[in-house]
Chain A
Amino acid sequence: RKEVEQDPGPFNVPEGATVAFNCTYSNSASQSFFWYRQDCRKEPKLLMSVYSSGNEDGRFTAQLNRASQYISLLIRDSKLSDSATYLCVVNEEGFQKLVFGTGTRLLVSP
């Protein structure tokens, strides 16, 4: 079983729609959680950190459920420019490496 699992998609949504992605992680010792965005043939870029209390950044809301070991990302009012792959990322206290999921591909259409 992979340490971080995501539905690869693709999720096809129209502009203006709300879409949500989930991600599960296997290591209960995980301490830090992130969503990265990766455009086609580009490098991953940090979208937002995910805090225990949940956090929001404009149209993006991230939630963490430690008991069930999953992380979610909600995108409201989808834009064409949101089309990308969204990578769920986890690291463990005391370990340096970040562990990436395979990514969820989002396609927003006009």
Chain B
Amino acid sequence: GAGVSQSPRYKVAKRGQDVALRCDPISGHVSLFWYQQALGQGPEFLTYFQNEAQLDKSGLPSDRFFAERPEGSVSTLKIQRTQQEDSAVYLCASSRDHYSSYNSPLHFGNGTRLTVT
């Protein structure tokens, strides 16, 4: 595809609801990252996939957050029992190689803005 695609663009959830956020990376990109960006802050790392393998999930804030990339392309970030502090923009990014570097920069999607009421 032309770029990283995320859906939905906006999501409003009532506290306690489960949500699922989708990311379609650039075709052929090996690495996929999820970031969380709160208002006025820089993106915070959540998790990283190399193809279908989730190699780093150290940034996931709680066990309510779960991410998968079963076939090594599309990824889903799931948040169970949403809380108000989960309100943020969730950004997905992909890069061509097994690691992000000068030759393999991150390409971001336009994000999903989650509001928990």
Chain A positions within 8 Å of B, measured between CB atoms, are 4, 8, 32, 34, 42-46, 49, 51, 87, 91, 95-103
Contact = CB atoms under 8 A, between A and B. Distances in A.
A96 B100 contact: yes
Contacts of B44: 100
A34 B95 CA distance: 14
Given A43-B108, A97-B59, A32 B45 contact: no
A97 B41 contact: no
Contacts, number: 56
Contacts of B18: none
Contacts of B101: 32, 91
A101 to B, nearest CB: 5
B42 A97 contact: no
Contact of A42 (B31, B50, B59, B110): B110
Contacts of B106: 46, 98
A101 B41 CA distance: 8
Of B48, B101, B111, the most chain A CB neighbours within 10 A belong to B101
